[in-house]
Structure 1
Amino acid sequence: MEDFLSQLNKEQLSAVETTEGHIRVMAGAGTGKTKTLTSRYAYLVSELGISPANILTVTFTNRAANEMKSRVRAMLGDLDLGFISTIHAFCTRFLKEEIYRLGYPKNFIVIDTEDQRQMLQRIFADMKITLRDTTMRRTIDQVLEGKKITDDYISEFIRNSSEELLQKIAAEPEKNNQIFLRYLYEQKKNYGLDFNDLINFTGYILNVFPEAREAWQSRMQYVMVDEFQDVSQKQYAIAQTLSAKHGNLFIVGDSDQTIYSWRDAHVQLFLDFDKKYPDAKTIVLKDNYRSTPQILKTANSLIAHNSVRFPKELRALHSDGAKTLYFHAKKPQDEANWIADTMGNLVSQGASLGDIAVLYRSHFMSRGIEEILIQRKIPYRILSGISFYERKEIKDVIAYLRMLTTQDDIAFLRAIQTPSRKIGKKKIEFLKEYAEANRISLYNALLENLDSEIFRGTGAKRFVQAIAATQKGMENKPMDDILDEILDLSGYTEFIRMDAEQDRLDNIAELKQSVAQAAHDPDANLEDFLSRVALYGNLDKEERRNAVKLLSVHAAKGLEYPFVFVTGLSEGLFPSAQIETAEEMEEERRIAYVAFTRAKERLFLSENEGGGDANLSKFPSRFIFESGEENLEFVRPLPDDLRKNALRKIQQSEESLQLLQNLFFVGDRVRHKIFGEGKITAVDISAAAYVVQFDNLKTPRSLQFSAKLEKLPD
């Protein structure tokens, strides 16, 4: 144990040996956070004699929990480390012991996101909800997430039997309330708890049942929370409650790596820890063991543009390396080719393919990289994701295109089932038997039985009509129009919009772009495109260690690679076009910072100016300029006009974000130099306008955000 402690630097050792009280460790990227946390755990057990049963260590991911357990066992031997876990795993264990207090069985099931979506699909079908009413994503966000923000629903959930919930459903006139009640009914029927429930029920029991709270507070003598910058207010509250008796709460993380605000993470919780606990000690880890000084100069320069952060600058202990290399391409294919060429150069200089990672902001951006790697026969692996042409929605769309050409049975079985057309197992079995008996395809079997009783009331006719209508004159239609037509007529477009999962919508948009690019070849046809796609999808599925890694920045959190390519660094992609506030832009910048700090030996940045949605030209990302042009090596200089236009667009965006940051709110009293005094009645972000009802006017006025308004005292 002493040998291990001798390997810690001064700040790491302080974090390990300061065992009592409230401790905040600001651990920059690559500063040995996991080593410090693991050493602290081992120190508590071996030097202080604390039992692992009295130490709760919360990690952000299962991967991090398993890594920490592995390291602790290597140091201390085989121990029961069940309280090293994610917060959801801890809550599951807690509820297995305590949920009886709510009259709920301890053998409850955990409902994952796919289970949740399937439950909602059944509810939508029963309520005859269409895209005109809502979408799956909106329902999850506004109804399920919205109503489970607090634990108010728990008492009703526990108090009412399934039959009573059915009565409430029948009497409920409001649609969203009825959806929520139906969802609770489905949960109760299956004895299920979703991820929100795990947190909410744990907090509820700790708050409502003193004997449970006191027992667990006595049990958890030390509470440690990893990646604290990514915890939510409710998760924080659980840690606070559990640590309240002994007063030993240790948090570690990095305010510059908060990238999960969409999961209710709040960087301010980390920054305000010393305000909540005035006795708190803050320890800052700044010595970076991972990256070269050149990589850190790029990352430090970038993140310095954020205002909501704990100010620190990482110090590189790594030897000098080459500057960050930046490539600007005219077209997406040029960017992909440059990445593949550069990989080849690295390998020729002695690097392994396994040393190389390509990071992107969103999964749909992997398509162009995958295609060039396949063409060049460069092995790769998608980490924490699925290869582009293996993704469900892409395989669905390809199946529809094949129904216009080969009409094979594999494509038929996929297309006929998505979206649901009330053609279940019995009807499919009938078609299989008929097709076998008559030596024809399943699609032809459907055509010959379309008017039979068995298909009455199904969506079979619409399916057949969509195919026939799209095929009509197909040889004279552009391929991208063919794709849009079959998806619209078949109902798939409405189905995927109802689902409203942004990644899926982005993936389909990216496939449409691929089809549009293929259509530029006057000799190309749909059959050729499908043949090429089949080659992309028919990859060797064996796990190959010596392969390039492709992954999103979020999936790369906590990982490191000698050579990292960050691709797609264009305004509108990275940062995302969906950014509406200065706070959201700071999160995008933190995501870029996480990407940059994955690199150990050299960092490569790239973007292209063409081939985006509707073929609009794109500008280099502000994150490239903010990284410090003096810290970059340009493969070739940016054209002066492009640079000037990009900086002007970025400046306009920053001014707009600043304007949005200083918005008035609904209910604010304001004064206008012409209209006089009035009240803000609505704020329209998309139109960048206020709706103001002035005291001296009969009707409200819409005023641009830039209008000169003076806020009046409440």
Structure 2
Amino acid sequence: MNSLLQDLNDEQRLAVTRTDGPLLILAGAGSGKTRTITYKIAYLIGQGICRPENVLAVTFTNKAAEEMRGRVERLLETLESPPLVSTFHSFSVRVLRRHAGLLGYGSDFAICDEDDQKSLLKQVYDELKLQDNLVPIKRTRAVISRAKNQGCSPESYLEGSADPDAPIISSAFKVYQRRLKEANGMDFDDLILLTVQLLSEHDKVRERYASTYKYLLIDEYQDTNLPQFELVKHLASVHGNISAVGDEDQSIYRFRGADINNILRFERDFPGAVVVKLEQNYRSTQTILDAATGLVSHNLKRKGKKLWTAGGKGESIDVFPAESPEAEADFVSRSIYQFQKDSKDRIAVLYRTNFLSRQLEDALRRLQIAYRLLGGVSFYSRKEVKDALAYLRAVRNPNDDISLARIINEPARGIGKTTLDRLWEEARQKHHSLWQTIKEALTSQALPGRAHLALEKFVSLIEVSAPVLESPLDQALRGVLQASGYIQALEKQETEEANERLLNLEELVTAAAEHVQQGLGMTDFLDNAALYSDTDEYDQNASVLLMTLHNAKGLEFPVVFIIGCEEGLLPHSLSVEADDLEEERRLCYVGLTRAQKKIYLTFSKRKRFNRGDVYENSKPSRFLAELPQHLLRDLSARSFQPARAGSGIAPSKTYNTPDSVRHFLEKKKAAPGGFVKGALVQHNDFGRGRVLDVQESGEDLKITVQFPGIGIKKLLQRYAKLKLV
């Protein structure tokens, strides 16, 4: 066991050997967090401090739990029975299977997945006579999940919500919970909530588990939500030996309910707690660490760490300001091409939102650079993109059965499966296309009234949209999507996922505009899109990986590019409040600390806006200004050659400041009243929000605003009386 401790640095050793009482281990990026946790478990058991069955280690993913379990077993080769290493959800299931009867459930309760939830909510909507087109089921499901992660019941959610749809959602929430229990079912959020309820209401059950698990180790503590925190408190209520491991600077899941305050107030929640900081980094150069620390030090909600490495200073951080998104993608792809001539190192390209991958994917394909998308789907394989392309194909050629079948009920039009199956069978028998069969059925009045009306509207949509194809390709695509109701259906959902899909469709319109500028037509566009979507993940063995900043957490790469370092992208345009901006800064910090040797930060000076041939200026991210400027090197005068090792050059400019951002927004062309895209506004009921779009509507203004926690609202200014912030 002494040899085991020799593998650790001083701080890790202190964290491992401090066994009694509450302990907060602040583990900086790349500081050996997993090693510290697993060595502590091995130390507790190997030293005879406790038996394996008295240890409970909890983390967030099955993969992390399996890795931790495997490491412990390798450290303790003679282990007869392993300690319990589990996720929060798996542990909750284990407890509930034994005691669900105390809460009125059977021990054979079903765990409902996302599809089950949607199906059940559809039944709830039918019972309450709610309309999906007014308050979409997807939105209701997301709100219910968010409420549960905050420990809210239907009643407390309604009481604390400013959402005008809250009464509807609350009533659906209440019936949903009733139906779940009647079906002896629990969704994933219920698993933890009901375990907390069980331990709160039944003292003997709580004492049994709190007594059994003398030592608790909680991984990624910064990502815990309120119910998870309450579960941990109950489990630590007897012995109080809890070791929480986490990094407040890597708390990036607020949108999932994570509460950074859990780690910030640990000493208050667990009196007598000792704090150990793991600050030695085993991943990155000192330049990278200093840059990341300099950035995140602008946050107020942090406990503070000073990361250091024995690995040397390393290269400067290169910043490339591109003239356009195409130039940005070209720089990144050509830089990667040059890197791959000399090295087999893995390269990661990180971005805030998925739509940013499209132009980069195109550029990599042109240079025949193999890449892989991690945790996502390639741009042309995304559902909404394939739906949009299918609309174009179907309007151009209604006899294209594959495309027509894809979009006939996207969005939902009330054309049932029975009706479609009947039409398909008739089409097969007559060797006709589905389109031809539909028109014949309408002519012969062969369908029931409701199905007849729905199909009649669909046929009219396709036929009326045909003349739109005479417009330039990008305008045609936008027109078809608007006419179909597809855009409007996504806007009504008012969820993060729907907003991401809308951004992807906007990017597809941009791609169409690029084809127009290159003199290419619709056939070229559709053919290229089909070829691009032929492979979902271009090459599983590729050394170039593309992913969002969120998906990069926990990973490391020798070379990292962070693209789209612009206001509105990073930080995201929907990040309005101070807490949102701090989380965006932490997200950038996570991106920086993925790099082992080299970082490139890129941005575009202008972006395409609305139509593909219209540009608006963009502003470098404020985070570039917050980085220590002496660590940056400006690549303005360069084209695509990556930097040579050891060629640190002082930057020629400061990229951005909060004042320059405000000046930039003020210079943009404003609608009457000063309302512009990106401006902050205040609403009496919804609070503070960010303007997404402004349109003149007669003598009034139609303003689209994103309100955090509420969603996207379209408002007429004469009624809304929005005020600029």
Q: Report the alpha carbon displacement of residue 10 of structure 1 after superposing the two structures with TM.
A: 0.6
Alpha-carbon contact 1:483-1:512 (below 8 Å) kept = no
Q: Report the alpha carbon displacement of residue 444 of structure 1 after superposing the two structures with TM.
A: 1.9
User: Quick one: which amino acid aligns to residue 99 of structure 1?
Assistant: A
Q: CA offsets per residue over residues 70-127 of structure 1, 9 Å max, x none? A: 2122222476557312212211221111112112112222223343234334544665
2:365 corresponds to which of 366, 369, 374: 374
The match for 2:336 is 343
Alpha-carbon contact 2:348-2:546 (below 8 Å) kept = yes
Alpha-carbon contact 1:462-1:490 (below 8 Å) kept = no
In 1, Cα distance between the equivalents of 2:524 and 2:539? 29
Alpha-carbon contact 2:562-2:601 (below 8 Å) kept = yes
In 1, Cα distance between the equivalents of 2:76 and 2:237? 28
In 2, Cα distance between the equivalents of 1:642 and 1:616? 22
Q: Report the alpha carbon displacement of residue 532 of structure 1 after superposing the two structures with TM.
A: 0.9
1:287/1:642 Cα in 2 relative to 1: closer, same or farther (>3 Å)?
Answer: closer
Q: Report the alpha carbon displacement of residue 214 of structure 1 after superposing the two structures with TM.
A: 1.0
Alpha-carbon contact 1:619-1:642 (below 8 Å) kept = no
Is 2:292 aligned against 1:289? no
* SS of residue in 2 equivalent to 1:377: coil
* SS of residue in 2 equivalent to 1:461: helix
* SS of residue in 1 equivalent to 2:461: helix
Is 2:471 aligned against 1:511? no
User: Quick one: which amino acid aligns to residue 207 of structure 2?
Assistant: E
Q: Report the alpha carbon displacement of residue 33 of structure 1 after superposing the two structures with TM.
A: 0.6
1:546/1:68 Cα in 2 relative to 1: closer, same or farther (>3 Å)?
Answer: same
In 1, Cα distance between the equivalents of 2:721 and 2:415? 51
Alpha-carbon contact 1:363-1:507 (below 8 Å) kept = no
The match for 2:642 is none
The match for 1:465 is 460
Alpha-carbon contact 1:608-1:618 (below 8 Å) kept = yes
The match for 2:113 is 112
The match for 1:92 is 93
Q: Report the alpha carbon displacement of residue 389 of structure 1 after superposing the two structures with TM.
A: 1.7
In 2, Cα distance between the equivalents of 1:89 and 1:566? 35
Q: Report the alpha carbon displacement of residue 151 of structure 1 after superposing the two structures with TM.
A: 6.3
**Unaligned 5+ runs, structure 2:** 157-165, 639-650, 667-679, 692-719
The match for 1:390 is 381
Is 2:207 aligned against 1:207? no
Q: Report the alpha carbon displacement of residue 23 of structure 1 after superposing the two structures with TM.
A: 0.5
Alignment of 1:412-451 (within 5 A): 412-451=404-443
Q: Report the alpha carbon displacement of residue 137 of structure 1 after superposing the two structures with TM.
A: 5.2
Alpha-carbon contact 1:393-1:504 (below 8 Å) kept = no
* SS of residue in 1 equivalent to 2:607: coil
Q: Report the alpha carbon displacement of residue 436 of structure 1 after superposing the two structures with TM.
A: 2.3
* SS of residue in 2 equivalent to 1:378: coil
Q: CA offsets per residue over residues 398-437 of structure 1, 9 Å max, x none? A: 2212112244222122111322334344333322232223
Alignment of 1:317-336 (within 5 A): 317-336=310-329
Q: Report the alpha carbon displacement of residue 263 of structure 1 after superposing the two structures with TM.
A: 2.5
In 2, Cα distance between the equivalents of 1:580 and 1:148? 22
Deviates more, 1:633-642 or 1:18-27: 633-642
User: Quick one: which amino acid aligns to residue 102 of structure 2?
Assistant: R
User: Quick one: which amino acid aligns to residue 565 of structure 2?
Assistant: L
The match for 1:303 is 296
Deviates more, 1:286-295 or 1:437-446: 437-446
* SS of residue in 2 equivalent to 1:315: coil
Q: Report the alpha carbon displacement of residue 386 of structure 1 after superposing the two structures with TM.
A: 1.6
Aligned CA RMSD, in angstroms, stands at 3.1
Deviates more, 1:584-593 or 1:382-391: 382-391
The match for 2:489 is 495
Q: Report the alpha carbon displacement of residue 543 of structure 1 after superposing the two structures with TM.
A: 5.8
Say how many residue pairs are matched. Answer: 651
User: Quick one: which amino acid aligns to residue 410 of structure 2?
Assistant: T
Q: CA offsets per residue over residues 623-653 of structure 1, 9 Å max, x none? A: 1111122111111269999957985115899
User: Quick one: which amino acid aligns to residue 485 of structure 1?
Assistant: G
* SS of residue in 2 equivalent to 1:316: coil
Alpha-carbon contact 2:574-2:690 (below 8 Å) kept = no
Alignment of 1:112-151 (within 5 A): 112-124=113-125, 127=128, 129-130=130-131, 133-136=134-137, 138-143=139-144, 145-146=146-147, 149-150=150-151
Alignment of 1:682-693 (within 5 A): 684-686=687-689
1:473/1:310 Cα in 2 relative to 1: closer, same or farther (>3 Å)?
Answer: closer
1:705/1:79 Cα in 2 relative to 1: closer, same or farther (>3 Å)?
Answer: farther
User: Quick one: which amino acid aligns to residue 169 of structure 2?
Assistant: N
The match for 1:586 is 582
1:180/1:644 Cα in 2 relative to 1: closer, same or farther (>3 Å)?
Answer: closer
User: Quick one: which amino acid aligns to residue 84 of structure 1?
Assistant: V
User: Quick one: which amino acid aligns to residue 246 of structure 2?
Assistant: G
Q: Report the alpha carbon displacement of residue 683 of structure 1 after superposing the two structures with TM.
A: 7.7
Alignment of 1:241-280 (within 5 A): 241-280=234-273
User: Quick one: which amino acid aligns to residue 598 of structure 1?
Assistant: R
* SS of residue in 2 equivalent to 1:549: strand
In 2, Cα distance between the equivalents of 1:55 and 1:617? 56
Q: CA offsets per residue over residues 681-706 of structure 1, 9 Å max, x none? A: 86842499xxxxxxxxxxxx989688
Alpha-carbon contact 1:611-1:617 (below 8 Å) kept = yes
The match for 1:409 is 401
1:145/1:501 Cα in 2 relative to 1: closer, same or farther (>3 Å)?
Answer: closer
1:378/1:426 Cα in 2 relative to 1: closer, same or farther (>3 Å)?
Answer: same
* SS of residue in 2 equivalent to 1:8: coil
The match for 1:484 is 478
User: Quick one: which amino acid aligns to residue 29 of structure 2?
Assistant: A
Is 2:617 aligned against 1:624? no
In 1, Cα distance between the equivalents of 2:140 and 2:665? 31
Deviates more, 1:440-449 or 1:286-295: 440-449
In 2, Cα distance between the equivalents of 1:487 and 1:399? 11
Deviates more, 1:58-67 or 1:428-437: 428-437
Alignment of 1:627-646 (within 5 A): 627-636=627-636, 643=655
Alpha-carbon contact 2:248-2:303 (below 8 Å) kept = yes
In 2, Cα distance between the equivalents of 1:327 and 1:403? 42
User: Quick one: which amino acid aligns to residue 190 of structure 2?
Assistant: D
- TM-score, normalized by length of structure 2? 0.83
The match for 2:549 is 553
Alpha-carbon contact 1:362-1:503 (below 8 Å) kept = no
Alpha-carbon contact 1:518-1:524 (below 8 Å) kept = no
In 1, Cα distance between the equivalents of 2:665 and 2:536? 44
* SS of residue in 2 equivalent to 1:337: helix
Q: Report the alpha carbon displacement of residue 515 of structure 1 after superposing the two structures with TM.
A: 2.6
User: Quick one: which amino acid aligns to residue 471 of structure 1?
Assistant: A
Q: Report the alpha carbon displacement of residue 229 of structure 1 after superposing the two structures with TM.
A: 1.1
Q: Report the alpha carbon displacement of residue 348 of structure 1 after superposing the two structures with TM.
A: 1.3
Is 2:570 aligned against 1:577? no
In 2, Cα distance between the equivalents of 1:303 and 1:151? 32
The match for 1:18 is 18
The match for 2:68 is 68
